[in-house]
Amino acid sequence: MKIAHGNESQKAKFKVPFGTVSITPDAKQLINEVIDSGWVTKGKCVKEFEEKFAALFGVKYGVAVSSGTDADALACASLYDFGAKRGDEIIVPALTFVATGNSVFQAGFTPVFVDVRRTTLNIDPDLIERAITSRTRAIMPVHLMGKPAAMDQIRAIAKRHNLFIIEDAAEAHGAEYRSEKIGAMGDMACFSLYAAHIITTIEGGIVITNNEKMANALRSLRNHGIEGKFAFQRIGFSAKMNEIEASVGLGNIKIFHQILEKRRRNVLYLIKEFKQFEKYFITLQEDAGEKLGPHAFSIIVRENASFTKDEFVDFIEANGVDSRNLFYSIPTQCPSYAFLGHKLGDFPEAEFCSDNGTHIGCHQDLEIEQLDHAVKTVGDFLRLRGAK
C-alpha cells in the first residue's frame, strides 16, 4: 500500500523530489471523526499523540505544540522555572535552520553561537567551553540532517558547568548515539513535526522530557502561561496543537518504523554510492556508535574542487534532482542577526558549509531507481566538468 503523498507539482518537475508527507488511511478516518465530533482544538487526540510519541523514545512526558520553533522556544522559556533570568545565554551551533536562534530570542534569552565541524555539520564540542560565561544556562545541540551531535562530550561539559541540555532533534527522529535514543539524552528534546519530517502533523512540534516540573511548565507556557482554570503564572505563548494535526501524527506513529527503515535504506545507499565521488564532496556519513535518523542527504563541495556549489546545483536540478541549500551561518550570513556585531570569518566552518553545501532527499517515497538517477546525474556532471 502506498502511504506517502508528496506534492504533485514537485513530483512532476523532479524525478527525485526533496520531500514527501505520509498521511495514512487511519489518519484520514480519525480526521473525519474529529470533524464530526465538533471538537477540533486540543483534546483527546493531542493527549494520545503526546503519550505515544514520548513512548517511542522511552521518555515520560510529551508536550505537543504548534511548531518545532515553538518547541525550542518553550523549552528555553521553561528554564525560568529553574532560576534562569531574561537575557541569560544559551549556546547553539552557528550552522542550523534560523529557527534555532530565533526561538532563543523569542524566549527572552541570548543565543551564543559556536562553530561546527564540516564533517558532521554539528556543533564542535571542542569549542563549547570557551563560549561559556557566568550567564550561560543551557547548551542546545542540533542533530542536523538526523546525524547525532557529540553527546558524550556535550553531557560532560554540561555536567561540569551545571548547564541544562535542550536537544534540538527537529531532523533526528529515530537517531541513536552509542545505543541511546536521540531525544532522551538531554533534559528536554524538541522535535519538528513539519511535513518533511519522519513523523509529521503537517505543522507542529513536540517537547519530550523525563522532568515532571519541566513538563508542567511547558503545558502552561503553550497556553499563555495559564495554570488551573484562568491563573496566568508565566509570560507564555499561544502554541497549542489541534486535534486534526494530532490525528495525522497518530497515523505516522503507527508507521514510524516503516518510514524510518525506508529512509535509512535510502540514506545508507546514497552514502555507499557517493564513495566514488569523495574526492569532490564531503557527504553525510554514519559513523561507528551512531545511527542516523535521516532527514536528508548533505553534499558539500570540497575546497579545491574545480566547480562551485551553484554550478553543481544548477546541473542536478536541471536534470530532475531537487535540492535545498545547507542552511546558513546564522550570526554572519543572516541579515536579521547583523545587530549582534559578528563578521564574516567569525564562524569559518559554518560559513564554508553554507557556501559550498546542499542537500537532497532520502525520504520514504523514493525508490532505488530514483536514487540511481541522482547518483548518475552527479557522475554525469563530474564527467562533463572533466573532474572524473
Q: What is the pLDDT of residues 166-205, one digit of tens each?
A: 999 999 999 999 999 999 999 999 999 998 899 999 999 9
Backbone angles phi, psi at 166, to 5 degrees: -115, 105
Query: For residue 31, what pLDDT is reported?
Result: 77
318: left (phi over 0), alpha (psi -120 to 50) or beta: alpha
Q: Which residues of 184-219 are buried (b: 16+ CB within 10 A; e: fewer)?
A: bbbbbbbbbbbbbbbbbbebbbbbbbbbeebbebbb
Strand order in the sheet with 110-114: 61-65, 205-209, 188-192, 164-168, 136-139, 89-93, 110-114
Query: For residue 241, what pLDDT is reported?
Result: 96
> If you ran DSSP here, which 8-state letter would residue 114 be given?
E
What's the average model confidence in pLDDT over 139-153? 98
**Cell numbers representing residue 194 in the block:** 513539519
Q: What is the pTM of this model?
A: 0.94
pLDDT above 90 for 213: yes
Q: Which CATH number fits domain 21-254: 1.10.3720.10, 1.10.580.10, 3.40.640.10, 1.10.150.120?
A: 3.40.640.10
First to last CA, the chain: 40
Integer-rounded Cα Rg, in Å, for the chain is 21
Query: For residue 388, what pLDDT is reported?
Result: 59
The CATH architecture assigned to 256-384 reads Alpha-Beta Complex (3.90)
Top-confidence residue, 14 or 113? 113
Query: What angle, 0 to 180 degrees and rounded to 10, lies between the N-to-C axes of helices 212-221 and 68-77?
Result: 120
* Cβ neighbours of residue 208 closer than 8 Å, sequence gap 6 or more: 53, 54, 57, 59, 61, 62, 63, 183, 184, 188, 189, 191
pLDDT above 60 for 10: no
Amino acid, res. 73: A
Query: For residue 34, what pLDDT is reported?
Result: 81
Q: Where are the domains of the chain?
A: 21-254, 256-384
238/361 Cα distance (integer angstroms): 32
